[in-house]
Structure 1
């Protein structure tokens, strides 16, 4: 468990970990340079619960914290919990049972997003991937699993982790995409379960997250980690997996940066735009798949096409129209002003309002 300034949440998270029945636990918590007393809270908690080991380090990021914790782990199985999330009752039981039966390298369970009001939601792609159990598959048999980038809904055999040389890339955000690609590509087989094994807590702090999307370093990290994942998948040599990654997985979160590119708070807007435009052109083109043919909602595909066409003012107008009142809609479709313009792909003639 990596901890950085999570004092309001970390004890609840640890409570849910220690409440898991039927397991001999070794809980390694890394205080990653907290300034809010999180480390002291964990230290006091650890004095009451000898299963917990606390490590302290200067702030180096979540990847460095996780890597440091893994070096201290000596158990048969390895999993991760973030300090603001929590586990359902018997979270690990279905994964342990499945691995005992299958002998697979790791198991992957379903996650639910839980907001501050207790409302639950299953992200659509996660729901698709976990609609049915699949035991002892590999990534070529289940290519869309490459989208499941989360470390916390997985239970690994430690000997597999060591043998594969897995770790989290240090110094970048969005490190989970690279870690997940490495794990899925290295596994001889893994188990996909339908049970909910992790509660992903959504805090009401989206404004700060949105602001971070508009920073140059944040966009650069997004581009770098997407390229790292793509390089690994290409080296694997399965064109179906490459197409799945480019068509269905890599575009998923780009809408955040399309919106940030025309937001008033974006850092160095001209540089941000050129980085974003060049990235879209690099990942999505006729030799892979143009962004307008990716499998994200139509509004996002139109945004990506406008970026690739270097139409910054039109992107701003599109987002303002979608967000504003009185959007012209016909039969549930937003009739954008460029739909009859020569050169606009037919698939972008009308798009659904929304992201």
Structure 2
């Protein structure tokens, strides 16, 4: 049997109580057409069989390495733990309940290697419950398509402001030295830790690439426990709005005017309407007050958004 090549990319795979999904995520790594990878599996003090799934993977494939938190520290801390151990030229991320497409690493590593850019991002789709106990991938959403089509190499956020809508860590592969040179870390102890890091990446990169390929299937869990499915909770809403606000501030501070304006319009078009629908009948008036304050701050920058009845309603809370 031919030995695996020396790894060029490390994939950091954090997981907490994801035993039901982790085997599929790890299988998606094994199926990569680029075999020169290694993975750091960070068990964030799981209480289910996640450690067993990780241990079985490491026992059968030396490319998997396990690190365990003895107490739960959260997704941002788990990613940082893995990031600190990366020794390869490139680094990527995969949440342990998601799935990489087979050519994801080949395409992302390949374009950055050829272009010399600091990182590359690809498209992604939701993996939704099919009602029969399985999951099916959806379509590429318009904002994802706008960020990743057509393919571009060595672009910047000023040349391609729509890229600012791609704020997820697991859609990208980066040069490891870019993270270290730029001092990039995930925020710990908060939800939606991707957003601030993504906008800092766009703002600080010398150049980045985009590819239209779908690189990840992003799971929407049938049990509704993922953080993106808990926006009806006031603390989760507060973290969500803070993450978006801080991401816009990074673009503002970097002088990336077009990207900041694009991000504001996208949030008003995509993120705010479902929150308004949640808020209308929410039992907590504070939920509406917090959301209304946020919406008014964005509408001040994009007055045309008040043509939406949902946006107009939120400005009155």
**Would you say same fold, with TM above 0.5?**
yes
Larger relative contact order (CA 8 Å, sep ≥ 6): 2
Gaps of 5+ in 1: 311-355
> Could you report, residue by residue, the CA deviation over 1:29-50 in whole angstroms, capped at 9, with x for unpaired residues?
1111211121122123212222
2:15 and 2:44 in contact (8 A); partners too: yes
1:4 aligned to which of 11, 16, 23: 16
Change (3 A) 1:291 1:47: farther
1:35 aligned to which of 4, 29, 47: 47
Change (3 A) 1:34 1:250: farther
Q: How does 1:165-176 map to 2 (within 5 A)?
A: 165-176=183-194
2:120 and 2:172 in contact (8 A); partners too: yes
Change (3 A) 1:77 1:195: same
Structure showing greater radius of gyration is: 1
RMSD: 2.0
Tell whether 2:285 aligns with 1:270.
yes
- Alignment partners' CA distance in 1, 2:35 and 2:299: 46
SS in 1 for 2:211: strand
Gaps of 5+ in 2: 1-12, 131-135
Equivalent pairs counted in the alignment come to: 299
Per the TM alignment, residue 10 of structure 1 is displaced from its structure 2 partner at its CA by: 0.4
Structure 1 length-normalised TM: 0.79
Counterpart position of 2:172:
154
Counterpart position of 2:107:
94
1:79 aligned to which of 82, 92, 95: 92
SS in 1 for 2:108: helix
Query: Greater strand percent: which structure?
Result: 2
Counterpart position of 2:9:
none
- Alignment partners' CA distance in 1, 2:79 and 2:293: 32
Change (3 A) 1:31 1:197: same
1:291 and 1:304 in contact (8 A); partners too: no
Tell whether 2:122 aligns with 1:109.
yes
2:261 aligned to which of 214, 224, 243: 243
1:284 aligned to which of 299, 302, 306: 299
Per the TM alignment, residue 130 of structure 1 is displaced from its structure 2 partner at its CA by: 2.3
Per the TM alignment, residue 162 of structure 1 is displaced from its structure 2 partner at its CA by: 1.0
Deviates more, 1:218-227 or 1:8-17: 218-227
Counterpart position of 1:141:
159
Structure 1 runs of 4+ with >4 Å offset: 206-211
Change (3 A) 1:211 1:79: closer
2:279 aligned to which of 229, 251, 261: 261
Per the TM alignment, residue 208 of structure 1 is displaced from its structure 2 partner at its CA by: 7.7
2:315 aligned to which of 301, 308, 316: 308
Counterpart position of 1:51:
63
- Alignment partners' CA distance in 2, 1:209 and 1:98: 31
- Alignment partners' CA distance in 2, 1:166 and 1:209: 23
Per the TM alignment, residue 201 of structure 1 is displaced from its structure 2 partner at its CA by: 2.6
1:21 aligned to which of 30, 33, 42: 33
- Alignment partners' CA distance in 2, 1:220 and 1:163: 31
Change (3 A) 1:138 1:211: closer
Per the TM alignment, residue 23 of structure 1 is displaced from its structure 2 partner at its CA by: 3.2
